[in-house]
Amino acid sequence: MSDTETIQRPVVLPKTEKPKLYKVILLNDDFTPRDFVTSVLMSVFRMSESEAQGVMLTAHRLGACVVAVYTKEVAEMKAKDATDLGRQYGFPLAFTTEKES
Ligand code: NFA
């Protein structure tokens, strides 16, 4: 045996899995008041009033609008919290989630 030996270490590749992201989508309906939708967007998604009005109007005109993108758990929790707020006041307001492609 020689005085020096080379120790073979396994090559460990860093695991850099990027988290899967999910969109929260606001769906239009004919009953929820515009100001209520704007307030929910401001409180649940921390938007300014003008941002929230822009998202609300886009959903109103086009039928749906992407609100924000989060990890799966956060997106699902925010969509539920926002939908539940509408339900508490008797509105059919609905937010869904969709995996980013
Ligand atoms: N379309 C609703 C109205 O005219 C407003 C609305 C916008 C509801 C976006 C839901 C989503 N009162």
The pLDDT score that the predictor gives to residue 1 is: 47
Enumerate domains of the chain plus CATH numbers.
21-99 (3.30.1390.10)
Residue 24: how many other CB atoms lie within 10 Å: 23
How far is Cα 35 from Cα 25, in angstroms, rounded to an integer? 18
Please tell me the residue having the least CA distance from ligand 1 atom 2. Answer: 30
Per-residue pLDDT of 3-21, as tens digits, reads 677 888 889 888 888 889 9
Ramachandran sector of residue 32 (left: φ over 0; alpha: ψ -120 to 50; beta: rest)? beta
- Taking every pair of C-alpha atoms in the chain, what is the biggest distance, in angstroms? 84
Per-residue pLDDT of 25-82, as tens digits, reads 999 999 999 999 999 999 999 999 999 999 999 999 999 999 999 999 999 999 999 9
* Residue 44 phi, psi dihedral angles, 5° rounding: -85, -35
Q: Place 90 in a pLDDT band, splitting at 50, 70 and 90.
A: very high
CA 59 to ligand 1: nearest atom? 9
Please tell me the residue having the least CA distance from ligand 1 atom 4. Answer: 30
ipTM of model over 0.95: yes
